[in-house]
Structure 1
């Protein structure tokens, strides 16, 4: 009964209070879901009829914030109400919709440090987030999408609030001091709704950023790396909180479709800053979206096909002692990985290792196909090699341990 009454209330724009810093539920700002699902093409309102809100997410969980972004994209009508969402996360790496996590990030380090890896729904490159990042998402109707408007607004806020001069380069990154990147950008455009989001480096841990985004050598295309800087290095007055306020007010004082500065008069017409709590109570179905975004199948299973190959010199003590070899004896492991699963494996075993008694039987390789490109595959390799032993010998010999160690380095090191 209470939920039914709330839906009736939110359907009426008369219930929407104007405020700058008032804490309020986002339910008062969304159109009833049964109306939203029936969104239709129509003449869009004039600029003066569009109101704005700044949503401030109370979550610092990357999967929750990405789910909130996706929920708003799917369910809200931005025809006459534009929203800028600001949010921040605990340490995580966020890759683009079509990217390869093993190529873009140091996956073993992320697992070791319990740093989340998330695949977002938009394109673009890989970024590192921590509490020193400010993330911003601009939501509009599809026909009102304007990435240049959004970036110019941020640029203006940086200068107005802190005197920081920046430029927007040809890749639509925000750059300071002619070369240091402080913001990356990406977008998702639907039939009726669009969003553009970016992350601003305020006082992020650049050492952790560098380690988390260490590159793996594979036959695939990686993100373009850039020199980065924190905005706090430009002016120590810049904090995530002060920047959030500066950009929020710049957004509210600027006309909806042009960069005309309306000052305090324009601010007074807006819906202001709104704290939002990303839970199912506020956004029904959000938990399901979050679970999908946190799943292995989404974050790793959507990876395009890639191959990886590495060579390992065989220690002399593992070679046949009575033989002399003219060339370095190297074990070469090559793998093709599709949707995060091992599709094909090749072990090129040097003569010295074969003559000392190691044979890479086809049965061992067969056991690896279809396994995740993780330690799951290493376990399968070890089990397969053990099956060749007699029942009373359940330990890998020196040569098998060497092969397993090499395989582990292919799967679990950058």
Structure 2
């Protein structure tokens, strides 16, 4: 029988925690893993987002808010010690989904007496307010699904840190974006603190005997050198977090039901010389594979669409189709 682990990670360093998560994804190749963890003040930006356009860098510098890029798609999120993060790692089955993990998170919350439901593009909602966003990725034959529960987060810092972009919301909606997000604490009894919430979630996962609990110090005690190497060389590097945010000659952007798609390109001789695609779409695979595949293509809708046909676009853009993506690249 494969070992399934429930890991309680005591670290609050966002750079280390993302490195640990990736290490578990890469090296624990059997069974299932659930990890509960918290980050100190940080913006965790989506894999394919253009960082300068997603966050207020002056504010994050002033407030000492760490900015770290994750490996999953979706939008930027604000983390602090009022949040509780969760990660699920399991075998990837082509054509399958991680809905069972989304359901597990929702059921754990319902066991606390709140009317949680999975809705929107990738959210967990209570009374229409988002209390958790989720994202996922494929890595070999494994899949990662993770999310962040807003328990008692500083929503004013969330508002100040993240830029609201006009193509995502109308002018009226910009003013009400704050009302779309809620704290789980507001829906629980007054004596339920974050520690109690974590304990309830641990019990919910352990009660059927499918998981055994492990602390990170026991699980990775001989692997710290590898995790620290991944932390410093990737998640704590300028190249990973900021280096991809470059200026390009052409810039097109469109909003679809499945998210925002944005393209930056250098065009020379009527062909795409450089291409970068970013946005908050739900990518399972690195969208750089498509961007690289477009290099050398004539800057024409039909040619771009023909290249896109060679990729399983759902894995890169979720529900956003080839015609929509091509319309962004060739406006």
Could you tell me the TM-score, scaled by structure 2's length?
0.67
1:289 and 1:83 map into 2 onto residues whose CA distance is 20
Equivalent of 1:207, from 144, 156, 165?
Answer: 156
Offset at 1:129? 0.2
Whether the 8 Å contact between 1:98 and 1:302 is mirrored in structure 2 is: no
- Residue 303 (structure 1) aligned with residue 245 (structure 2): yes
| 1:343-395 alpha-carbon deviations (Å, 9 max, x no partner) | 9xxxxxxxxxxxxxxxxxxxxxxxxxxxxxxxxxxxxxxxxxxxxxxxxxxxx
SS at match of 1:143: coil
- Cα RMSD after superposing both structures: 3.0
- Residue 158 (structure 1) aligned with residue 98 (structure 2): no
2:159 and 2:35 map into 1 onto residues whose CA distance is 27
2:308 corresponds to which residue?
Answer: none
1:244 corresponds to which residue?
Answer: 198
- Residue 61 (structure 1) aligned with residue 13 (structure 2): yes
Residue-pair matches, total? 244
SS at match of 1:54: strand
2:191 and 2:265 map into 1 onto residues whose CA distance is 47
Offset at 1:125? 1.0
Equivalent of 2:226, from 285, 305, 308?
Answer: 285
Within 5 Å, give how 1:111-150 maps onto structure 2.
111-143=61-93, 146-150=97-101
SS at match of 1:274: strand
1:77 corresponds to which residue?
Answer: 29
1:247 and 1:185 map into 2 onto residues whose CA distance is 17
Show structure 1 runs of 5+ residues with no match. 1-48, 254-265, 310-335, 344-414
Offset at 1:304? 6.2
1:230 corresponds to which residue?
Answer: 183
Whether the 8 Å contact between 1:153 and 1:250 is mirrored in structure 2 is: no
Offset at 1:308? 11
2:115 and 2:27 map into 1 onto residues whose CA distance is 37
1:279 and 1:156 map into 2 onto residues whose CA distance is 29
Offset at 1:209? 1.0
Within 5 Å, give how 1:257-268 maps onto structure 2.
266-267=208-209
1:101 corresponds to which residue?
Answer: 51
Within 5 Å, give how 1:345-384 maps onto structure 2.
none
2:295 corresponds to which residue?
Answer: none
SS at match of 1:171: coil
Q: Would you tell me which structure has more strand in proportion to its own residues?
A: 2
2:143 corresponds to which residue?
Answer: 194
Offset at 1:213? 1.0
2:162 and 2:98 map into 1 onto residues whose CA distance is 26
Larger radius of gyration: 1
| 1:282-314 alpha-carbon deviations (Å, 9 max, x no partner) | 3441111111111111111123656899xxxxx
1:238 and 1:115 map into 2 onto residues whose CA distance is 27
1:113 and 1:175 map into 2 onto residues whose CA distance is 29
Offset at 1:252? 2.8
SS at match of 1:153: helix
1:13 corresponds to which residue?
Answer: none
